[in-house]
Structures are given as C-alpha cells and as structure tokens.
Structure 1
Amino acid sequence: MTFSSFAGFDFGTSNCAIGLYQDGRPTLVSLPDHGSYMPSTLFAPTRDVISGWLYQKLKQKNMADVYQNARAQHIETSLGALREAMLDGFDSELLFGQQAFDAYMEDPFDCYYVKSPKSFLGASGLSARHCQWFEDIIAATMWHMRGQVAQATGEYPDKVVIGRPVNFQGLNSEQSNRQAISILTQAAKFAGFSQIEFLYEPLAAGLTYQASLKEPKRVLVVDIGGGTTDISMMEMDPNFDYKFDHQRLVLGYSGERIGGNDFDIALNLQTLMPHLGMNQTLANGQPMPHKIYYDAACVNDLPAQSHFYSRESEKLLLDLKDDMQSDYWQRLHRLKHEQLTQSLNRSAEQSKIALGDSIEYQCYLDYLEDGLQIFVYQQQLKQASEKLTRALSSLIHEVLTQSGCQPDVLFLTGGSANSPVIKRFLAEHFQGIQQVSADNFGSVTEGLTRWARQIYS
C-alpha cells in the first residue's frame, strides 16, 4: 500500500469527494461504500464516542501519537462511552454518508447525527471544546475516506490539497476563516495527512474548465455549494504555465455564506412550516412567535438548533398549546421531541430538487402526522429564493467592479449553481453570454487534484 501519494479533497457542505492522478489524468475515486460522492454526514450513538472511535482507528495503524497528545484529557472518557454504547447494543462503528442518514431516520431521537459540519466551522461563539468536537468529526470523516481510497486503489494519500470557500462566514470573515482553516488543518493532521495545502474552490473549478479551452477567455466562475457561494472572474488560458502562481489568473473574487442549504431553509419556511402553525394567529389574537420556526429550520446554525431543542422552547410550546390549532401544535411538538428538524430540511431539499423539472411537487410529511402530504409549487421556490438571488447579485456586482470587465462565458459549478432558478437569474443578468455547466461536484475535486500534482510532484 502506497503512503506517499497526493490527493485533492473536496470537503463539501453537501458532499465529499477525493481525487487522485491515475493514468495521467485527475480521477475521482469511486469509494466502495459511497461511489464518487459521499454525503457530508456522520452518525454515532452519542457525541462522546467519536474521540474514542478515532483513537482506536489511529492506534491500529500506529498513528495515534499526535491525536493522543492533543486529547489526553478526553480519550479515556470517550472510550468508556464507546464501551457503554456497545453494552447498550449499539454498533461500535461510526457511519458516514447515506448510511449515516439511513441510521438517523431509523431512530432520530436516540443518536448523534451531524449533517454538513462544514457549515459550522466559521461560526461565531464556538468554544475551544466545540472546536475540538468539530476537529474530531472532520478527522473521523477524513480517516474514513482515506480508508475508502486505500480499499479502492491501494493508495493511502498523505499529501492533500483541500478546497475552501473564499469566506466561511459573512460576518467577521477573517476571524471566521482563521478558525475554520485551523479546524480543518488540525483534523487533517489527526487523520494522517503529512502535508496540507488549501485552494479556493472557485479557483479549483476554474482550473478544471481551463483545461478544456482552446483559446484565452475571461470566465466568471459561479460556484454555489451547499453552504457558500463564491464568484470569481478569471483570465483563463489553455497555455497557462502552472509553474507560476495560480493567483495571477484571478481578476476579482468575492464570497458569502449562502448556498443550497439556505435555499432549503427558505423553502422550508415558505412552504412547510406554515403546516406546523407558522404565520397563524393564536386564539388569543396574538401572532404566532416566529423564532421557534426559524430555529427549527436553520439546521446549519448550531445556536439556533440548540435553542429549538432547549427547555426554554419546551416551555414556550407548553404555553402555546391552548392557543394553537391542535394539529399544528401536535406536529410542532413531534418535530421537537423526536428531533426531526433534519428530516424536515431533507423534505424541503427534495422539494427544491423536484421543482427544477416540475411546476409542483407532492411532499410527504407522514413522519410528523400519519398521512400528511402537501403540494409545493415552483412559484413558491422562486419567491423563497428572492433574498438569496439578491445576495448573489451583490456578489457579482462586487466581482465585476474589481475586475473592470465583463466575462466571455459563465462557468457554473457546485450543487446549486445549475438550479433553474439560478440559471434563469444569470441569463437575465448576463444576456447573450454563454453559460457552461460543469459537473456539479466533480469540477472542484478535479481542480484540487490538478493543483496537488503541481505542488507535490
């Protein structure tokens, strides 16, 4: 097994992918348990077992020293939690990707489930212990993926280029970026990577598109992922000499923490939450408090989720019971007590995807009430997306101002960039300019792998 190879690693908000150079070209590795893309999810019996699980895996490969020194105060407690979970009948293995989501759906209440950990890395107010938890979650995910690569190819990459957005958060961006990069770097070290570099995700996608060009072009790269949107104006040339700094290609860029998850949340609030009582008037004549619904919908906001599941929200629910319509109260109560916010978010995401090809979608919410189903319409998706498309317009304006030019072509990449709502918006904004759609996820991974070859070969 080879331990000296390099890889490009797209640790995405929605999906993770890893690429190697094989047969002279960058290739996405088909992971035995996941395929080319693994959903960014983790399942564990409890949060406390993750550290012990990771320590055991590292120790089996004689690679535990760095992690053991960093977590000396917590490993024994975590190993104890892992033993206790096993005695209670839980599997000792963590689960990732679709397997994690399936296990969560079996019993959402009695587990620890994380979707899109990347969304939280730049969040304000994370304590040192919170940062350590995210380091462990990401290190466990990276360790799992390295093992999958080894199983598929016989290579165990130890040099990596990891993609990153321009900004992990909209507010306090420099501090947020430092925090997020620190978490990712430490996690990658724990997972056994000896050399770690980062590359802006839109630049990675741009390098992929550049390889297909026959002549120089100014390209506006529109990269809309699950949690972030990055816009870059790049001067692309198929004859670009990779010995020079890739930053020379960049004429302007900007980014913000908006993405596919935010479209899901907006659609959830617009179409699903009203069936749990949002926007209703209480029997006492007062409007329904909105915050409890926003906290429930914002699955990428750790403080919001914590508040929704708090005793304070429980008291509010009890206070509202006599003034709310009974079926609305029962659905909201079930959402909270069975910890189904991720399931409701998934329903919104499925609705968004379906409305790309249809004017309506029948959404089943029978996990909240037997037989409950509602119709969601394409026009509702457009209305829910207006705030986000305005933010996208602002980012584009900033990049055009920086670069002082218009693009020859638009290059769309990321899980949400090819949404019909986005494509129509861009067509109106850049009339007559060609749109080129990339592999929604693979273009970033391919570009990261190309850059890994350049700096590590």
Structure 2
Amino acid sequence: MAAIGIDYGTSNSEVVFFDGEQHHFIKLDPALDAANKIRSSVFIYYEEDLPQPPAPIIEAKVAQIKRAINDQIDKAKQGYYDAVDPREQRIYSDKIDDLRAELHNLPALQRKAIQILLKDMTVQDLSLQQLVETGKFAFGEDGFKRYLNMPDKGRLIYSPKNFLGANLIAGQQQAFIGIIAKQLAFFRHSAENQLQTSVDTAVIGRPVKFHGTRGEAGNNQAIEIMSEAAKMAGFSHVEFLEEPIAAAYQIERSLSKPTNVLVVDIGGGTTDVCCIKLSPDKRNNLNRQQDVLAVTGTRLGGMECDKNLIVKTIAPTMGQNLLTQSGLPIPPTYFSDMCAVDDISKLNHFFSDDYGLEIAQTMSITKEPKLLERLLVVQEQKLSARLVNSSRLAKELLSSKSEVTLPLHYIEADYDVNINLDDLNRSMQSWLRRVKRLVSQCLENSNEAPEMLFITGGMSLSPIVKKELQEIMLPDLPLMQGDAFNSVCEGLAIQASKLTN
C-alpha cells in the first residue's frame, strides 16, 4: 500500500509519492512535456446523441400532447354534431376513434414526446447532475482540446475547485462530488500503474479558505465534497493539509537550523499565508499544528488577475466604453459576466438566448456596433473559458516579455490585442493591495517575527508579484529559493509518507 500527496489546484493539479528519500512525480497528462501537471478543468461531453430527457420532463411533454389531442377530439365532436351528411358524420366519428386510440397509447406518446424534446434540446438544457451521470469525461489538455473542437457537444467546468465552497443549488453538490471523484480516481489509477502497487491513502491540499462567499460553512461544505469524492474514488484514508503548511514541510528539508518562515502561496484561486516554526529536528513529526504561528487566506488567486486583465485591456476592444445614442454607457456587467467561468449560474445566464438578445438590442442603439459584435460572438459561441485561458497565457508570457500580441482569431479574423507589462501592472494593482493586506494580517497575528520568506504558487513567478512582496513590502526578509510549482505537492507527499510509517 502507498500514500500519495494530491495538490488539487484551481488551475493545475499534481500527484507526488515520497519514499522517504526522494519524490516521485506521477505522470498525469501525456500531452504535456511536464506530464506531472494536469489542467484541473474537466470537459463532460457526448460523442453522439444527448441522453434521454428526465422522466418528469417527458411526463410534462406527454401531458402537453394529450391536451392538444383532447382539443382535436373536441373539435371533431363539434364537427360531428354540425354535420348533416351521414358520410361526413362517419368521417368525424372515425377521426374521433383514431384520436382516442392515440390518446390512450402511452408508449407511443412517450416516444413522440422524447423525439420532440431531443429535437430542440442542447447540452445547456441538461442539469449538471445529469451531465455527470450520463456524459463522458476528458481531463487535462485532452479535455480542453475537445472543448475547443466541439463546445456544443459538452460543458467545460473550467475549475471545479472554485465551486466547492459556493452556494450550490439542489443537485449541484452531488454533481461536483461526481466530477471530483472521477478526477481523483484518475489520479489514483495513474499512481497505481506507475508505482506498481495499490494506493489507498492520500493527503490532499486545501486552501485556508475555499473559494466562495459562505465563510466557514463553505469551508465545511468543500471538505465534505472532497471527502465523499475521495471515498467514491477508492481511497480508504484521506487527510487534508493547508497548502502553505505543506509548502513549509517541503522547504524544511533544506534547513540546517530552526527558522521561522513566512510562506506566501498564491495559486490560481486562493492566496494563503502562514508563519511557521520549522526545524530539521521536527521534520519527521506527524502533528505540527503547535508550530504554526499564524495562518491567513482568502479566495484571491491568479484567475482573478486573468479576468481583470480582460476587463482592463480586452473588453475596451469589445465595446466596453461605448455609449448609447442617448449618451448612457454600455452595461459594464456584460464584461464581468462574460468572464464568470467560476460562477455557473452567472455564466449560464450570460449564455442564455435572452442575454444574447439584450446585447443585440444594445448594438442597435450604439454608434459603433461593430465592437459589440465581438462580445456577441463570445456569448453565442460560448467562448468565455477560451477567452479567460487566452488572458492567462498573456499574463504568463508577460513574466518574461515586455509586450505580447494576443491573437483572438477564434472571435474575429485578424482580431489581435496588444498587451504590455504596464497594462498587466495596472490590472493587478487592486489585486496586489489585497494580497499585501493578507500578508500584513498574518504578520500581525504571529507572536514571533519571520526570519525568511518563501513565495510559492504559479503567481509567485510574476516579476510584479516578486517586486511588490520582496523588494517593496518585505525588503529586510531574506528570500528562500524553491520550486514555485511543486513545493506544495511535495510537502503533501512528505506528510502522506508519515501516515504509512
């Protein structure tokens, strides 16, 4: 039996096994050179026909058909009573008999109802729970490529983790349990195939506060969903460890003496900060909560930067600053709703026919409707996830370049947007202020000052983030070098190995 660490992230996920001496990265996505990382998004799709509509919907359609048949019977009866020719009366009488036979042939009515429903039904008409129960699953780059090739054949859940602490309506919580169970089972089977042993134990990383607006209730809900999903995926023993603490366990192995370390973990969906007492003498201890000096966290990650970059640099080329002919501004919610890939209800509303009609009507009362056509294309073709992904790529490229040209040809031919480092910097300022407040809060809550700083998570690679935290905010705190992408999962694997010793 083996135990693994699972970094189930907002943007990417990773699985690591620690044998007591070294880490073994489980290959998850053969389509990537760095196959141990996998995109966390899930595409649920249908290769051919959509599933049969739920029984209550079929029953409602049957009832509607029956009402129509009864109306025809009533009209035929009236025709019979009004007819004076016996032959004409027989025609109406035969028609009434046929309609009554049709009315009482329930199997035929059900088949007709299903045929009518399927004719007009799209994937968007299916509930998330029905998608999970009947659709096929594709993970990582394979799933994202399938989404790009056939967006109308399925639904992309851009970041399942972002919904765990949200206010989920009936059926959605069970649906997310099913989605995550599929992912965790895929991780477990990949580990078993590569380690050549069964895997029944996992330590899964968790943010200090899950993405959501429900506070501690949302955190509890997220843990419940993850626990149930892990059980369904075949794990018999699962524990959760806060991600910045996991990162601390990894860097602890490089320390030669007791050191207080401030860990800032900025991921795709959350930012978590902890001040912790580390020591080479304690690295084999299972319970280290007494060494945690302070922990803070909130739903504030790199995805928010991706959406901010769209609003600040791309949305203006899609009509954001247009005025109507009466001088009123275009509703700014058009563009925030367009980016809401982490809010199912808001995104479904944006993709609705009524929303598209509203945009089209707005186009008719603006002086430059051509720009709004780009927004309408995103709405009609359901390109929000693809646009947010393009923004993420631009953000990452600007870590090493001063300017990039972002091709958005899937929206409009020859549609390019130039974005430079200053644009990115401006779009990140409000986000950075919140990150720095979180760091300050952790420092204030700790009764001992840190001696070193460690920044991890995908956003830690941003020169803008490094400058703000290291040079401007904490210039006197030495920076520890480490792996920005793997430190959390390596720490989770270290903790997992302790559970089997």
Q: TM-score range by the shorter chain?
A: 0.7 to 0.9
> 2:379 matched to 1:382?
no
Partners of 1:341 and 1:149 lie apart in 2 by: 33
Q: CA deviation at 1:156?
A: 3.2
1:345-381 C-alpha deviation (Å, 9 max, x unpaired): 0111111111111221100011110011110011111
Partners of 1:178 and 1:150 lie apart in 2 by: 30
Partners of 1:136 and 1:81 lie apart in 2 by: 11
> 2:415 matched to 1:372?
yes
Partners of 1:186 and 1:425 lie apart in 2 by: 40
Partners of 2:138 and 2:212 lie apart in 1 by: 31
> 2:395 matched to 1:352?
yes
SS of equivalent residue, structure 1 residue 416: helix
Mapping for residues 204-283 of structure 1, pairs under 5 Å? 204-240=246-282, 242-243=284-285, 245-283=287-325
> 2:143 matched to 1:97?
no
8 Å contact from structure 1 (residues 219, 233) kept in 2: yes
Q: CA deviation at 1:170?
A: 6.0
Higher gyration radius (CA): 2
Q: Percent identity?
A: 31
1:224-274 C-alpha deviation (Å, 9 max, x unpaired): 010000000111111115336211221111000010101101111111111
- AA aligned to 2:375 is L
> 2:241 matched to 1:199?
yes
1:294 aligned to 314, 325, 336, which one?
336
Q: How many residues align?
A: 418
SS of equivalent residue, structure 1 residue 209: helix
Q: CA deviation at 1:217?
A: 1.3
Q: CA deviation at 1:77?
A: 7.2
Q: 235-244 or 197-206, which moves further after superposition?
A: 235-244
> 2:210 matched to 1:168?
yes
Cα distance change on mapping 1:254 and 1:170 into 2, 3 Å:
farther
SS of equivalent residue, structure 1 residue 168: coil
1:140-163 C-alpha deviation (Å, 9 max, x unpaired): 111112222223222331111110
8 Å contact from structure 1 (residues 139, 190) kept in 2: yes
Q: CA deviation at 1:80?
A: 9.0
> Partner residue of 1:117?
160
- Runs of 4+ aligned structure 1 residues displaced above 6 Å come to 76-80
1:398-436 C-alpha deviation (Å, 9 max, x unpaired): 111111343221111111122111101012001132223
Q: CA deviation at 1:449?
A: 0.8
Partners of 1:46 and 1:268 lie apart in 2 by: 31
Cα distance change on mapping 1:77 and 1:270 into 2, 3 Å:
closer
8 Å contact from structure 2 (residues 274, 296) kept in 1: yes
8 Å contact from structure 1 (residues 9, 161) kept in 2: yes
Cα distance change on mapping 1:311 and 1:441 into 2, 3 Å:
same
> Partner residue of 2:461?
418
> 2:42 matched to 1:42?
yes
Mapping for residues 272-351 of structure 1, pairs under 5 Å? 272-324=314-366, 325-351=368-394
SS of equivalent residue, structure 1 residue 148: helix
Partners of 1:78 and 1:365 lie apart in 2 by: 29
SS of equivalent residue, structure 1 residue 397: helix
Cα distance change on mapping 1:437 and 1:285 into 2, 3 Å:
farther
8 Å contact from structure 2 (residues 7, 13) kept in 1: yes
Q: Which has the higher helix share?
A: 2
> Partner residue of 1:436?
480
8 Å contact from structure 1 (residues 32, 152) kept in 2: no
Partners of 2:12 and 2:338 lie apart in 1 by: 22
8 Å contact from structure 2 (residues 19, 497) kept in 1: no
Partners of 1:395 and 1:139 lie apart in 2 by: 32
Cα distance change on mapping 1:373 and 1:452 into 2, 3 Å:
same
- TM-score under structure 1 normalisation? 0.87
Q: CA deviation at 1:46?
A: 5.1
- AA aligned to 1:421 is I
Cα distance change on mapping 1:79 and 1:139 into 2, 3 Å:
closer
- AA aligned to 2:6 is F
Partners of 2:256 and 2:364 lie apart in 1 by: 69
Cα distance change on mapping 1:263 and 1:403 into 2, 3 Å:
same
Cα distance change on mapping 1:210 and 1:78 into 2, 3 Å:
closer
Partners of 1:170 and 1:160 lie apart in 2 by: 24
Cα distance change on mapping 1:455 and 1:23 into 2, 3 Å:
closer
Partners of 1:436 and 1:283 lie apart in 2 by: 57
Partners of 1:301 and 1:80 lie apart in 2 by: 21
Q: CA deviation at 1:343?
A: 0.9
Partners of 2:19 and 2:282 lie apart in 1 by: 22
Unaligned runs of 5+ in 1: 50-73, 83-92
SS of equivalent residue, structure 1 residue 109: helix
- AA aligned to 1:186 is E
Q: CA deviation at 1:43?
A: 1.5
Aligned-residue Cα RMSD (Å) equals 2.1
8 Å contact from structure 1 (residues 10, 17) kept in 2: yes
Cα distance change on mapping 1:138 and 1:214 into 2, 3 Å:
same
Mapping for residues 6-155 of structure 1, pairs under 5 Å? 6-22=3-19, 24-31=21-28, 33=30, 35-45=35-45, 81=134, 93-124=136-167, 126-155=168-197
1:179 aligned to 188, 202, 221, which one?
221
Partners of 2:9 and 2:487 lie apart in 1 by: 12
- AA aligned to 2:339 is A
1:58-94 C-alpha deviation (Å, 9 max, x unpaired): xxxxxxxxxxxxxxxx9x9779945xxxxxxxxxx52
Partners of 1:388 and 1:78 lie apart in 2 by: 35
Partners of 2:226 and 2:352 lie apart in 1 by: 29
> Partner residue of 2:438?
395
Cα distance change on mapping 1:432 and 1:356 into 2, 3 Å:
same
8 Å contact from structure 1 (residues 410, 435) kept in 2: yes
Q: CA deviation at 1:275?
A: 1.2
Partners of 2:241 and 2:20 lie apart in 1 by: 24
